[in-house]
Amino acid sequence: MTQATHVESLKAKHAELEAMIEQENNRPLPDEMTITQLKRQKLRIKDELASLGE
C-alpha cells in the first residue's frame, strides 16, 4: 500500500467514524461510552494523519 493510498484509507475511516458519532448523538438516548470510544478512534486516526503530514 502506498502512502497516498494509506492516507486516503485513513481519511475515509475518519469520515466514517464522524458519521457514526453523529448517528449515535441523534438517537433518543445516545450511549456516551460508545461515543467516547468512537471519538478516541477518530483521534488516533487524526494523529496518524498528522504524523504522515496530511
Domain boundaries, the chain: 3-51
> Which grid cell sits at 45?
486516526
* Closest among 24, 5, 18 to 46, alpha carbons compared: 18
pLDDT for res 54: 61
Encode pLDDT of 3-49 as tens digits. 999 999 999 999 999 999 999 999 999 999 999 999 999 999 999 99
Give the Cβ contact number of residue 20 at 10 Å. 16
52 near 7, Cβ under 8 Å?
yes
pLDDT for res 13: 97
pLDDT band at 50 (very low <50, low <70, confident <90, very high): very high
pLDDT for res 8: 95
pLDDT for res 53: 82
